[in-house]
Each structure stands twice: as C-alpha cells, then as structure tokens.
C-alpha cells in the first residue's frame, strides 16, 4: 500500500517548507544541516616544501566554510612539531633517517585518525590533509584509508620551478615557522633548502598516465597553467573553479559603506534613499583619501542602489555596478524602524535575534542567502588586484567574514561603521586589516544581540540594543 505524502509546515526561522506530523515538524528532518557533498571529501595536497600547499589549504578551508561547507584543515607539519617539540635540522628529513621516517609516518596516521573523527563523528563534510605526500606509496595509503571509510579523495598538487617564487615563499612563510624561531635568516634559508633536497630524490609527481583514475588538479607555477583530471562531483568542481581564480600578486582591497543616507538618519532599514548632507561630505572625503593613496590601476565597484552610486559619483572615476552587492532584502520590513518591527512582528524580531545568520525576513533574505548571492563577487575579487568596493552594512559583513575567516555566528555582528574605510592586505596565511575613519560624523547603525532573545520578551528587552536615531 502506497504511503500518502506527508503534510508540510513552514519553518518560522528560515521560511522553508518541511514535513510535519500532527502539526509538528519532524525534528530529524528540520534540524538536518544542508549537505553539499553526497559523501565526505578528503582533499590531499601534494608537492615539495615551499610550494604554497599550506597557503592553498588554509584559503580553500576558509572559502568552503564561508559558503557553508563544514571544512577543517589537518597540517601534518604541526603534528610533527607537537610530537618533536624541538626541531634540530634538515637531517630529520633525510630519506635514510629511519627514526625520522618512523615519526613522520606516525604523525601522518595520527592526522588521518583525526580526519576520520571529524568526517564521521563531528559532522564535517570536507577535510584538507595538508602534507607533502610526495610518494605514490604515501598517496596509496591515503586512498586505502579513504576507501575504508567511504570518503572521496581529491588531490591538489602544486608544482613550482620558479626559484624567485620559492625564495619568496621561504622568506615570507618558513622563516616565521616555529622550526626556525632561534635561527638567523641565512642559517634558516640554508637548512630549509637542504630540507627540500631531502624530498626531491623521492618525489613522484601525479602522472597523467599512472594516475589517470584519480581525481586531481595540478597547479603549475602558481597558476600559470593547470591540469584537471576526473572531477566527479559538485564540490570538486567548486574547488577547481576556486583554485583557478586565486593569485598571489600583492594588492589592497578597500571596503566601505556608502555615505550616510536619509533613511540611516531616521533609523529605517533597507530602502533606496539618497545621501544625507553628511553622507555627501563623506563621499568628498573618500575621493581625497583615494587620491592620497595613489593606488595603481584601482577599480571601483558599487551596488545598484542610489546611495552607493552617489558615493562613487563623487570619486570622479569609472565604476562598475553589481546587483549582487545590493543590501540584504528585508522583505516586509523594508524601510521600517526596529521599533516598528517589534510592534508589528515581535516574533520575527525575536527569531532574528535567536539566529541572525539563518533567519530569513518574510518575503526577503537571510545572511545565509546573501553569502550565496555574493559568491560570484568573491570569485571576481580573488581575480582582481587593487579594488574599492562601496557597498552596504550586511554585504560588507559577509565580504569581511570571508577575508577574516569569521564564523556564521560572528558574521552578522561584525562592526562596519559608516564613514570608515577598511583596507585589507592579503598576506601569506590571512589578511591584515587597517581601519581608517574619515572623520565625518554619522549615525551608528550597529545593533548588537540583546541579552533576551525569547519570543515572550518585553518590548524594552527587545529594543535594548537599538542605536539612537531621529
């Protein structure tokens, strides 16, 4: 006998339809996290030391977490440091050092055990196994481990023969490593070059013929050329697309909001109003600031909303409008004050405070939706060099969370004040941030999470953190 279709109810927080029984959501379904992988994926780096494997691992982990795929990096070098405590010299990595080989093997196995725990028990979807993995034997061990645990494997090999790039990587990253904390620069460089030599003799790169059945991307000379083989699912496709868009050219990314708007002054959210008198003053100051920076070949992006375009117009420079950069859609709450939302939609107001990242405005968007909308912007930002993005509070929070590796819980509360420029400078394993206030007064639009987020709270509790306005 065929079972009849289940009844549906709408989740009040995310506004998505879910099966229910006797009017109540089926919890095991309503609480299930959206999964972008049909089975856990193990990303495995391959390559000699100082080829940017950890740079790729950290960046990829940050990107996947930002788009909502729970990902964790496992750096085998850190396991070795935790095990050994004190690093003496390159001799440890010699291929004839039996004790060194034994310790390195143990560290790799310990990392794989943690990978298994993360992907099978802790709810992870992707693990990045960051090590040299230069021999076919080691890669075979990893493949066998993955098969036993039901994980897919995707290899990322970085091949670089450019001595200048290698030297730059050693100076930028390796000299700051705990391995060389008490070494002078010349000694450290000499030791590290010898360490690379230890790996070169046994290095077996991924081979188009011998490894034709494996899924992998081979990145040559930091993105001058790529070889992609057997991409078998959606997540591998996303990884390949991302890795083909990143670069290491030094640059600066400037993020700022539009000048203060007429609706900002009134404490109203969203809308498409123009700039206030102070907002126009900020736009003039932004022009002077950008001119003083003397930025080479600066590109300017705005949203398609009046207040960002007015701000960009004052720069007297070409700019590109992106619909994807438009402010979060507040749906039925557009152009309302927080006090009005509390009066007309008290439950919605409380639900948003309970989970601001996933909460979706009725007929509007959530921060989670906004991140998906902004992914093409991030891809293009990764391809660009010097750029100024004039955007909105929620949009700027999402972009900032990507560059600063902030969690979904932190993202909606990141401070992005009006009339302040954030200068981001990508560095080896992250981003340096400089905050420049242009000294033009504006209202405060930051509303922090109140202590009481209960649906039955008082109006006073609900409005506890609403900033002052007209």
What tens digit of pLDDT does each residue of 59-114 get? 999 999 999 999 999 999 999 999 998 898 999 999 999 999 999 999 999 999 99
pLDDT band at 358 (very low <50, low <70, confident <90, very high): very high
Tokens of 440: 């033009």
The yes-or-no verdict on residue 200 having pLDDT over 50 is: yes
Residue 416 has pLDDT above 60, yes or no: yes
Whether the per-residue pLDDT at 234 is higher than 80: the answer is yes
pLDDT in tens, 288-305: 999 999 999 999 999 999
- The pLDDT value given to residue 29: 41
Q: Mean pLDDT lowest for which of 13-17, 327-331, 337-341?
A: 13-17
Cα–Cα separations (whole angstroms), residue 56 to 69, 106, 131, 239: 17, 24, 12, 11
Question: Which band of pLDDT confidence, cut at 50, 70 and 90, is reported for residue 30?
Answer: very low
- What is the pTM (predicted TM-score) of this model? 0.94
Q: Which segments of 81-235 are extended strands (E)?
A: 126-130, 152-159, 216-220, 225-229
Task: Tell me the torsion sign for CA atoms 324, 327, 332, 335.
Answer: negative
Bridging pattern class, strands 253-257 and 420-427? antiparallel
Positive or negative CA dihedral for 393, 394, 399, 400?
positive
State residue 470's pLDDT score. Answer: 84
Report how far residue 115's alpha carbon sits from residue 153's, in angstroms, rounded to the nearest whole number: 12
Q: What pLDDT, on a 0 to 100 scale, did the predictor assign at position 319?
A: 98
Indicate if the pLDDT at residue 193 is higher than 50. Answer: yes
| Contact partners, residue 381, CB within 8 Å, separation at least 6 | 253, 387, 389, 399
3-state helix, strand, coil in the chain (%, to 5): 40, 15, 40
Is residue 303 within 8 A of residue 321, CB to CB? The reply is yes
What's the number of CA atoms in the CB half-sphere (13 Å) around residue 64?
31
- Determine the Cα–Cα distance for residues 298 and 296; give it in Å rounded to an integer: 6
H/E stretch holding 447 = none
Burial state string for 357-394 with b = 16 or more CB within 10 A and e = fewer than 16? bbbbbeebbbbbbbbebbbebbebbbebebbbbbbbbb
Instruction: Indicate if the pLDDT at residue 27 is higher than 70.
Output: no
Q: How many helices (H) and strands (E) does the chain have?
A: 16, 15
* Predicted pLDDT of residue 35: 61
Which of the residues are catalytic?
A: 130, 160, 258, 327
Give residue 33's pLDDT.
55
Question: What's the average model confidence in pLDDT over 386-414?
Answer: 98
Token couple for 363: 């007929």
Collapsing DSSP to helix, strand or coil, 267 comes out as: coil
Q: Strand, coil or helix: what is 84?
A: helix
Residues 321, 197: Cα–Cα separation, whole Å: 50
Over the chain, what is the mean pLDDT? Answer: 94
- Cα 345 from Cα 340, distance rounded (Å): 8
pLDDT in the model for residue 31? 47
pLDDT at 169: 87
Confidence band (pLDDT; 50, 70, 90) for 173?
confident
């Amino acid at each position: 006998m065929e079972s009849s279709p289940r009844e549906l109810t709408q989740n009040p927080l995310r506004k998505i339809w879910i099966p229910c029984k006797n009017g109540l959501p089926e919890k095991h379904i309503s609480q299930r996290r959206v999964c972008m992988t049909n089975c856990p994926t193990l990303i495995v780096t391959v390559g000699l030391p100082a080829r940017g494997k950890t740079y790729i691992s950290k960046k990829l982990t940050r990107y996947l977490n930002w788009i909502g795929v729970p990902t964790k990096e496992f750096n085998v070098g850190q396991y070795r440091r935790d095990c050994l405590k004190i690093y003496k010299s390159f001799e440890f990595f010699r291929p004839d050092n039996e004790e060194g080989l034994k310790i390195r093997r143990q560290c790799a196995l310990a990392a794989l055990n943690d990978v298994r725990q993360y992907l099978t028990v802790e709810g992870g979807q992707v693990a990045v196994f960051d090590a040299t993995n230069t021999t076919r034997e080691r890669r075979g061990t990893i493949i066998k481990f993955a098969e036993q645990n039901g994980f897919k494997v995707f290899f990322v090999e970085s091949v670089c023969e450019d001595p200048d790039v290698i030297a730059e990587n050693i100076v930028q990253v390796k000299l700051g490593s705990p391995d060389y904390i008490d070494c002078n620069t010349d000694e450290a460089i000499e030791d590290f070059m010898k360490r690379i030599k230890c790996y070169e003799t046994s290095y077996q790169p991924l081979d188009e013929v011998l490894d034709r059945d494996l899924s992998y991307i081979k990145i040559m000379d930091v993105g001058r050329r790529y070889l992609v083989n057997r991409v078998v699912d959606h997540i591998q496709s996303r990884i390949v697309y991302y890795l083909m868009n990143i670069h290491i050219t030094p640059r600066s990314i400037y993020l700022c909001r539009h000048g203060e708007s007429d609706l900002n002054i009134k404490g109203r959210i969203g809308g498409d109003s123009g700039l206030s008198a102070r907002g126009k003053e900020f736009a003039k100051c932004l022009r002077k600031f950008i001119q003083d920076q003397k930025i080479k070949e600066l590109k300017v992006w705005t949203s398609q909303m009046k207040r960002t375009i007015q701000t960009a117009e004052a720069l007297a420079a070409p700019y590109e409008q992106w619909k994807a950069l438009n402010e979060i859609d507040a749906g039925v709450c557009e152009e309302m004050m927080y006090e009005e939302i509390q009066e007309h939609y008290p439950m919605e107001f409380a639900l948003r405070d309970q989970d601001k990242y996933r909460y979706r405005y009725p007929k509007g968007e959530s921060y989670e939706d906004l991140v998906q909308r902004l992914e093409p912007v991030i891809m293009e930002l990764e391809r660009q060099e010097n750029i100024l993005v004039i955007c909105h509070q929620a949009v700027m929070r999402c972009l900032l969370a990507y560059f600063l590796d902030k969690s979904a819980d932190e993202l909606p509360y990141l401070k992005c004040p009006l009339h302040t420029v954030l200068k981001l400078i990508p560095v080896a394993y992250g981003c340096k941030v400089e905050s420049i206030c242009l000294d033009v007064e504006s209202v405060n639009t930051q509303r922090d999470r109140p202590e009481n987020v209960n649906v039955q709270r008082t109006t006073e509790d609900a409005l506890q953190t609403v900033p002052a306005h007209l």
